Amino acid sequence: MEGNKCPALYKESLDISLLDKHTSKMEQTVLRDVTNGEHRGKEEEEEAQASVDIWRYVFGFTEMAIVKCAIDLGIADVLHKNGGSMSLAELASSLKCPPPSLYRVMRFLAHRKIFRQSQTSQGTLVYTQTPLSRRLLSKGENNMAAFIQLESSPVMLAPWLGLSNRVQEKGDSAFDAANGEDVWSYACNNLAHSKLINDAMACDARVVVPQIIKGCPALFDGVSSFVDVGGGDGTTSSMLVKGFPWIQGINFDLPHVASQGVICERVQHVGGNMFESVPKADVAFITWVLHDWGDEECIQILRKCKEAIPKDKGKVIIVEAVIEEDAEDKFEDARLTLDMVMLAHTTNGKERTFKEWSCLLNKAGFGHFDVKPIQAVQYVIEAYP
């Protein structure tokens, strides 16, 4: 029974000042000492943990740098070509790396569980591919190598060093300050960087589109065409027409991007400016575009998308993150990190909460919308005129 419990068993909710007046001073002193001792113990634990955790931030850049090194060396590719498992000596020979240096890199990567390290009965070190290391392949369904190469490039790293000025809103955006122009102008004037962006977005498409098809199988029911707004090289469009074989697709992006689009049956590449007009289709599909822009620009883009679709059966499908600040979702850390990327790399871009999406769509003239989670950083938002 509750009344038979010793006060010490529920002291966390105990207010010493409200102790029964008949409780002896000695008992009160003991309870205070226990409570204060626990507080001190907790503080000491937190201090001890902080002394460990701070090193993650002192050397936080190391993980990205070593993973980039692994991609540059082609470690995952070499393992893949050799059945997914190789000894240190074999790996060093294939990569033309001195074994001592390679061992140190592989030890770090194995500690991070990117590759698996084991030892034979003869003491030979062996490295094996893992689901995570397969994301570092240069080709493959789930590879993210190009995305890592983009984010670890000097052009994309430089803005982070000026992030405090960006937060204080001193002068231009962090990307402008570091590179002399905004990210899209820079890409337009530097085609190698533009290709990096398109390759990275293609990586994301190969991960996300299958989840869209799996999680929203009725997404294109009753429609026969879509336009992928800001569709990059057309990877998303090509995957959508394969997943939904009755639809025709238009891959729409800036002329210098659309002209490099991948050739695919039932996909037409069209160059243009989404702020001016969007090609007509039953559905306007837009993924990871709106987070690059401020609210006013997003409203303008959404209105152009709305103009492109029929009022009776048309809809705009938005594939973007939805921030849920108190959520325990496994992707929430990635979404909050992505919001910091927007802060560093764009002028007014950001990841948005459900409330912010609702406000944005309302201002753009959409009557109602549905939000559907998928197994990805992004959600699928269906907005109707």
| Catalytic residue list | 291
Kindly report the number of other CB atoms within 10 A of residue 5's CB atom: 9
Q: Please say whether the dihedral angle defined by the alpha carbons of residues 331, 337, 340 and 344, taken in this order, is positive or negative.
A: negative
Cα(371)–Cα(244) distance, integer angstroms = 20
CA distance 250 to 284: 10
Compute the Cα dihedral for 287, 293, 294, 300 and give only its sign: negative
Is residue 174 within 8 Å of 186, Cβ to Cβ? no
**Backbone angles phi and psi of 79, in degrees to 5:** -60, -40
Q: What's the CA gap between 211 and 243, in Å, rounded?
A: 11
List the beta bridge partners of residue 251: 228, 269
Amino acid 114 reads I
Q: Are 318 and 383 in contact (CB under 8 A)?
A: yes
Q: With b meaning 16 or more CB within 10 Å and e meaning fewer, what string describes 44-68? A: eeeeeeeeeeeeeeeeeeeeeebbb
Give the Cα separation of 311 and 306 in Å (integer).
Answer: 8
Contact 207, 146 (CB under 8 A): no
Best CA proximity match to 327, nearest among 340, 336, 315, 318:
336
Token pair, residue 209, equals 């589109």
The DSSP secondary-structure symbol of 262 reads P
